[in-house]
């Protein structure tokens, strides 16, 4: 006669946060895939640079002001983002609401500068291989900023609605904050490639 082993899990919470959450693992997988995409783009950049007779190809180095200003804003956003993650872990709704509003503004500001950044590249995407790869780098990163901004705005709307009563939303805010940190960190090597490697 076979015995059936059963475990009573009825007292476990209906959701988890951090590593106990499937969403956390999904976000980590998402960042791994996207990080690989950034790494491949950087590898293409250096490959093209190694076979080009001059770098940049038929263009001056990009203007520093828009890209550096954007980088400063992204670095400035890390502190409120860490605070937001901490408040979400503490389930402090008023502070989470404030943090989401601040992060929505700090997520939108880089998009304004990014519009100026494309014009400061001094090359079109279809001019040559150099133009194609740096436009691809900026385009990929812009997509990530937009993705996180949309997620932040949705979470802000949820936290200002009746859905704020759902404790799972605080875990979603933590995951979104983790993703924004990834967006900031991923920008560092891209910024170096686009703005400083051509000046070496």
Q: Which pLDDT belongs to residue 1?
A: 57
For the cut 70, the answer to whether the pLDDT of residue 162 exceeds it is yes
Q: How confident is the model at residue 166 (pLDDT cuts 50, 70, 90)?
A: confident
Decide if 51 is inside a domain: no
For the cut 80, the answer to whether the pLDDT of residue 183 exceeds it is yes
Q: Containing domain of residue 98, as a range?
A: 62-199
CATH number at residue 112: 1.20.120.80
Decide if 158 is inside a domain: yes
Number of independent structural domains in the chain: 1
Q: How confident is the model at residue 23 (pLDDT cuts 50, 70, 90)?
A: confident
HEC assignment per residue over the chain: CCCCCCCCCCCCCCCCCHHHCHHHHHHHHHHHHHHHHHHHHHHHHHHHHHHCCCCCCCCCCCCHHHHHHHHHHHHHHHHHHHHHHHHHHHCCHHHHHHHHHHHHHHHHHHHHHHHHHHHCCCCCCCCCHHHHHHHHHHHHHHHHHHHHHHHHHHHHHHHCCHHHHCCHHHHHHHHHHHHHHHHHHHHHHHHHHHHHHHHC
Q: Which pLDDT belongs to residue 168?
A: 84
> What's the pLDDT tens digit per position in 99-134?
999 999 999 999 999 999 999 999 999 999 999 999
Decide if 21 is inside a domain: no
């Amino acid at each position: 006669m076979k015995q059936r082993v059963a475990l009573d899990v009825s007292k476990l919470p209906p959701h988890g946060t951090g590593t106990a959450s499937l969403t956390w693992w999904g976000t980590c997988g998402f960042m791994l895939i996207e990080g690989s995409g950034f790494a491949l783009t950087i590898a293409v950049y250096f490959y093209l640079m190694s076979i080009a007779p001059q770098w940049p190809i038929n263009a001056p180095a990009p203007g520093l002001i828009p890209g550096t200003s954007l980088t400063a804003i992204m670095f400035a956003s890390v502190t409120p983002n860490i605070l937001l993650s901490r408040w979400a872990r503490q389930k402090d709704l008023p502070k989470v609401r404030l943090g989401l509003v601040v992060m929505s503004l700090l997520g939108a500001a880089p998009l304004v500068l990014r519009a100026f950044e494309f014009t400061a590249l001094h090359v079109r995407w279809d001019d040559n291989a150099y133009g194609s790869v740096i436009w691809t780098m900026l385009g990929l990163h812009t997509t990530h900023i937009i993705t996180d901004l949309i997620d932040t705005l949705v979470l802000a709307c949820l936290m200002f609605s009746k859905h704020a009563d759902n404790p799972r939303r605080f875990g979603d805010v933590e995951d979104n904050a983790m993703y924004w940190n990834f967006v900031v960190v991923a920008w560092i090597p891209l910024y170096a490639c686009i703005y400083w490697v051509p000046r070496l």
